[in-house]
Amino acid sequence: MSDQYSALRSNVSLLGQILGHTIEQALGAPALEKVEAIRQLAKSSRTGDEQAREQLLNELHRLSDDELLLVVRAFNQFLNLANVAEQYHTVSRHADTGFCQLDPLKQTLKRLKQGNIGSEQIAQALAKLDINLVLTAHPTEVTRRTLINKHVQLSDCLDKLELDKLLPTERTQLLARMRQLIAQAWHTDEIRHSRPTPLDEAKWGFAVIENSLWQAVPEYVRELDTLLQQELNMSLPASARPVRFTSWMGGDRDGNPYVTAEVTQSVLEHGRWMALDLYIRDLNQLINELSMHQASEELMALSGPSHEPYRQVLKALRNDLQQTHKYLEAKITGQPSRGENRITDIKQIINVLQMCYRSLCSNKMAVIADGLLQDTIVRCRCFGLQLSQLDIRQDSDKHAQVLAEISQYLELGDYCAWDEQTKLAFLAKELANPRPLLPRHWQPSEQTQEVLDTFKVIADNPADNFGIYIISMARQASDVLAVKLLLKEAGCAFNMPVAPLFETLDDLNRAPEVMRTLYDNKVYRGVMGEQQYVMIGYSDSAKDAGMMAAGWAQYSAMESLVALSDDCDIELVLFHGRGGTVGRGGAPAAQALRSQPPGSLKNGLRVTEQGEMIRFKYGLASVAKQSLHLYVGAVLEGNLLPPPQPEPQWREVMAVISEKSCEHYRAIVRGNKDFVPYFRSATPEQELGKLPLGSRPAKRNPDGGVESLRAIPWIFAWSQNRLMLPAWLGAYQGLAAAIEEFGEQHLALMSQQWPFFRTRLEMLEMVFCKADSWLSAYYDQRLVASHLQPLGEQLRSELAQATALIKELSPEHTLLGHQPWIRESIALRNPYTDPLNVLQVELLKRVRAGGSVALDNALMITMAGIAAGMRNTG
């Protein structure tokens, strides 16, 4: 590793030494010696030492069950500590990774100046800046929350160790604290023993806000404003809310029977309770700080005669917050009613705080107003009264089944059997009809009642509690009108935005046609609201057609939807359902946004942040600020310096790549009779069910095959055996066909001039750096029946072909030559992930032959450790 990473090497070494000392203290010197011997063999194996590799395999194969657990735990913990060091390094004072906190945004602002973008244009872009980050509970966060908290504290210790003029006693105390934290982690069970409930997941989301984002957001807004003043001589608008947060935790009921109407209501109450708690803490600080007596007439009129009018006013507000807090606490815990429900709108808090702000400024105390008071105002705007608004998501079939039950009860026929035009006519008529559709004394089925209860929860809560309603597997315009009708029937007094989610390849291709039908429907235009949201599904489209075909379908759909909405004078907001991995649309945030069609960000950015990526991007306040600055820079650049429109021939190239890659992908995944049994034996797919990742079942249909497997476990399983198949299968066939027809030089030109195409290739480069054929072959050798092994050999041969081709197309003719930080990051973890892969094979072999609870636990720890090594697993 080069000298620029010496600080990272040093921190990894320090954490590793402390872990080694902990293991030695807990289990004795022989245990540590065994772990160290395996670590050295793994490092030598990584350099190409075949003898060391053979020794490594033999050593791990000979381990007893107890020794297996020890080694698995040691390497899992080491990878977690390496991730702590790496995450901290991105914001370290000694980092030189190109990720320095404000540099990307500074560079963007300088490019805006150099591009002669007018100040009025920039001001308009800033006024419309709206980054909506949607936190989801997709089950790829394998690390327990108690361990995450210890890792955060370790990051704080690393930060303090970098301080200049640190006293020897202070350094000794910090190192002692680090030894305590690592010992606590070692003696803590790494694996949950029960699945989290949807409420547990929601609480985890609230904890991310409390522990990191609550501090990071106002600091980020202040830094953004300062940078704008320095670079462009302009400020953020006074009412700016450049970032806000939404959650799916407790609202996403698609395939999750545990997310009920009752759970959704409970999550809403917990969110408001937590928000009030945080605002009360801020007010306590403000009351301590704002002891001044000079005040405006406006404030004095509210405070009455007082020598400390700010404290007087803020204490009254705090009392209202405390009364509401007690009211909610009693409701949540089922205790007798206490307090009063006084604070029901965030404006009740903002109005008082802004009055204090105006008063301070008018009395020449702006320096005070721009401190904690301004931070709290920013928090009110960005977090609201819920910390995060709640999206509701449900499958389109569930709504259709409700309407079918109603139509049959009313003897109108079976809604599900009607054609699309009949459905649209019925829905439009009922939407325009003021009388209720639901029969008064009708007793629906339990499933239908649950859907109706969800709509009632929406209707019974304020509009500000919610984000949007997402329809999974939306295929027709009637799917959207059906939700609008059910909202009306529930008595919803506000216009909740409804977003179709286009997920499969066919659905993406038909998305413009579906939206045209909606836009042409006068009844829908009357109930649509101010904006139209459309969600683009990245994971299921990639699972359906392969990464290359899905990527082009996503781009084409977005491009057509933007043009259509502009033609119809409709403000379109695209919602990106990206995951952390390449197979689920994942890519570095700025890179991904710059590769989108021109105009696709002009009405804001709405994007999912999923699984473990929430922790990696927002788990530390300093890292969270960096992530937010990256988003701001990319959105401003996308709107003011948009990428070029693709040339006609580039579209032809992509059409060939898409067709040929999809054809091959489906031939393997759907057409090869050996694929499913190979998948299930060569990966831990069947054993993943033992890992209590999230509240949602791994399959939409418990009795279904691979086709019913959710995109996340599909990706997770292939990342475990290091074949990474969903992220690249079909890419070689598509690219090779395009080279044959158009020539390699044409693709090289596309890579130079078109960010969309360059991003596809860079995503593949990252995948190929993480893939590992010798490990995949070892899984086959030990776990796969001989008659299925030729398929594995074929897939690894294709992986080698694809890797060679991507290297050839890369400007540096190497993988990630332009992104050395990512390459170094992968290389850092590989020697510690390799033993876990080999151990996982051994454990799968033993478990499948008839295992034990101890072996199951060890197997689950290998899954968690490999996930830590791969970083973005879902």
Mapping DSSP to helix (H, G, I), strand (E, B) and coil, where does residue 397 land?
Answer: helix
Considering the candidates 270, 326, 484, 543, report the single residue annotated as catalytic: 543
Mapping DSSP to helix (H, G, I), strand (E, B) and coil, where does residue 486 land?
Answer: helix
CA atoms within 13 A on the CB side of 495: 11
Is 138 an annotated catalytic residue?
A: yes
Q: How far apart are CA 803 and CA 809, in angstroms?
A: 10
Query: Which amino acid does the sequence have at 290?
Result: L
The set of residues, in sequence order, having a beta carbon less than 8 Å from that of 20 and lying 6+ positions away, is 32, 35, 36
Q: How far apart are CA 557 and CA 553, in angstroms?
A: 6
Evaluate the CA torsion angle 33, 38, 39, 40 in order and state its sign.
positive
Q: How far apart are CA 46 and CA 221, in angstroms?
A: 44
Considering the candidates 138, 488, 629, 770, report the single residue annotated as catalytic: 138
Kindly report the backbone phi and psi dihedral angles of residue 246, in degrees, each rounded to the nearest multiple of 5, phi listed first.
-130, 160
Query: Which amino acid does the sequence have at 483?
Result: V
Strand 605-610 to 498-502 pairing: unpaired
Closest by CA to 742, choosing from 648, 652, 647, is: 652
Six-digit token string for 737: 């066909």
Q: How far apart are CA 201 and CA 195, in angstroms?
A: 10
Closest by CA to 572, choosing from 596, 544, 543, is: 596
Furthest CA-CA distance within the chain: 89
Q: How far apart are CA 338 and CA 341, in angstroms?
A: 9
Kindly report the backbone phi and psi dihedral angles of residue 729, in degrees, each rounded to the nearest multiple of 5, phi listed first.
-60, 125
CB 355 within 8 A of CB 298: yes
Q: How far is C-alpha 529 from the geometric centre of its chain's CA atoms? A: 27
Cα angle: 382, vertex 239, 233; to 5 degrees = 115
Q: Contacts by 771-774 with C-beta closer than 8 Å and gap 24+?
A: 771/722, 771/723, 771/724, 771/728, 771/799, 771/803, 772/722, 772/830, 772/834, 772/837, 773/799, 773/800, 774/53
Residue 468 burial (CB count, 10 A)? 23
Is 187 an annotated catalytic residue?
A: no
Mapping DSSP to helix (H, G, I), strand (E, B) and coil, where does residue 472 land?
Answer: strand
Mapping DSSP to helix (H, G, I), strand (E, B) and coil, where does residue 332 land?
Answer: helix
Q: How far apart are CA 557 and CA 570, in angstroms?
A: 16
Q: How far apart are CA 536 and CA 553, in angstroms?
A: 10
Closest by CA to 356, choosing from 320, 319, 305, 308, is: 308
CB 469 within 8 A of CB 390: no
- Could you list the active site residues? 138, 543
